[in-house]
Amino acid sequence: MTRPSPFFLFLGALVLAFLFPLEAEPSHPRTRSFLIDLNAYPLYVRPGFDQSMVGTRPALEDGSWLVYGPAKNGERVLTLIDLPNAPRRSFLDVQDHRAVEYTYVIPFSLTQEEITPSTSRMDPIPGIELGALGDNWEIYLNGKLLRSEVYLDYRGQIIHHRIARHIFFPIDRELLKSAENLLVFRIIGDPTNAATGFFVSQPYKITDYASIEAENNAVWRITLYGIYVFVGLYYLFIFFLRPQDRYNLFYGLFSLILGFYLFLRTYFVYTLFLDTALSSKLEYATVLLTIPLMGAFVETLSINRVRIVTFIFGLFYAFLAVLQFFFSLSFSL
């Protein structure tokens, strides 16, 4: 039986990973009782946080609020480094900056029909989906705390980072009002960290939770990533049997590390790591290592050796991958 060419497996891995990400077919219809695109509403931002802010509309007359209009193309990224007069990290600054707090407020409206659907159809559970939030954060809806990921020491500094993508959970229908609603975010983090705030452009929405769950069903993606890992282990085994074919070594390592990198970008990882600084640094390390492994694989497959330039770049990328573990998360970003 002919063993599959690692070159075609290599190309297939790249295509599947970056061009055609798999999504499971939803177990529920994609029909929605309502959809609130939070990017279609203004976003109010001010420094500091107080519990009195979570249930009242921003008082613009005090001059402390910044107002960002609805996203024109449905996409909006707003981190603390995007704000006016935000501090900037100097070149090779490896230290954490003192964490600051900001308040983000998104007012949105609902009709009574959206809150209480007609009895002719199933009464869906509402849910919220957020593309990403960092670093520590809390979410309030009409004055009620929905979720808290705040881990501070007695000085108010972060002890566990909770930078997360693909945040979604159900919410109590009783919290929604048939008028203006207030969604408030308490954002805490290093103001020079590119992941403090809304660091992914979309989605930010409130809709029925069944649709959100269906869209975020990652069974097939996790299966695909497992195949990358299995294929990587398979080619490493082939290399140990035939060490003269060094391209098997580089392809095996590439496929193995690619599988881990893609898994580290799923929402499952946030249930495994209390401090997401570690998972973030592992993610950056794996993506750094795939680059020289890709070059080494192509060269050993075509000319049966690794050029000195590729070798030097490989050492440099490996050095960066290890170095970032010893410094702040903001430095890694």
The DSSP line for 125-140 is PEEEEEEEEBSEEEEE
Q: Which two tokens stand for residue 4?
A: 């599959």
249 and 204: one domain? no
Containing structural domain, residue 223? 6-23+218-332
Of the residues 181, 215, 249, which one is the last residue of a structural domain? 215
92 and 196: one domain? yes
Q: Which two tokens stand for residue 29?
A: 């219809």
42 and 93: one domain? yes
* Higher-confidence position of 11 and 261: 261
In this structure, is residue 322 part of a structural domain?
A: yes
In this structure, is residue 1 part of a structural domain?
A: no
In this structure, is residue 29 part of a structural domain?
A: no
Q: Where does residue 246 fall: left (phi above 0), alpha (psi -120 to 50 degrees), or beta otherwise?
A: alpha
In this structure, is residue 291 part of a structural domain?
A: yes
Q: In whole angstroms, give the CA distance from residue 255 to residue 80.
A: 36
**β-strands 100-109, 78-79: how paired?**
unpaired
Of the residues 175, 197, 215, which one is the last residue of a structural domain? 215
Per residue in 32-43, pLDDT (tens digit) is 568 899 999 999
Q: Which two tokens stand for residue 187?
A: 């954002």
Among residues 217, 195, 213, 201, which one has the least CA distance to residue 276?
195
For residue 6, pLDDT over 80 is answered with no
Among residues 92, 42, 39, which one has the least CA distance to residue 203?
39
Per residue in 170-181, pLDDT (tens digit) is 999 899 998 899
How far is C-alpha 120 from the geometric centre of its chain's CA atoms? 38
In this structure, is residue 97 part of a structural domain?
A: yes
CA 29 to each of CA 26, 210, 211, 280: distance values in angstroms, whole numbers, following the listed order: 7, 9, 7, 34
Question: What is the domain-level CATH number for residue 74?
Answer: 2.60.120.260
In this structure, is residue 288 part of a structural domain?
A: yes
Q: In whole angstroms, give the CA distance from residue 207 to residue 9.
A: 40
108 and 61: one domain? yes
91 and 161: one domain? yes
204 and 260: one domain? no
Of the residues 215, 233, 267, which one is the last residue of a structural domain? 215
pTM of the model: 0.84
132 and 156: one domain? yes
For residue 327, pLDDT over 60 is answered with yes
Q: In whole angstroms, give the CA distance from residue 268 to residue 270.
A: 5
Q: Which pLDDT score is estimated for 20?
A: 44
Number of domains comprising the chain: 2
The amino acid sitting at 80 is L
Give phi and psi for 238, each to the nearest 5.
-60, -40
91 and 102: one domain? yes
Give phi and psi for 67, each to the nearest 5.
-115, 125
Per residue in 86-115, pLDDT (tens digit) is 887 776 666 778 899 999 999 999 888 877
229 and 196: one domain? no
Per residue in 43-80, pLDDT (tens digit) is 999 999 999 889 889 988 888 999 999 998 889 999 99
140 and 179: one domain? yes
Mean pLDDT of 208-225: 87
Residue with tokens 């519990």: 51
154 and 87: one domain? yes
248 and 266: one domain? yes
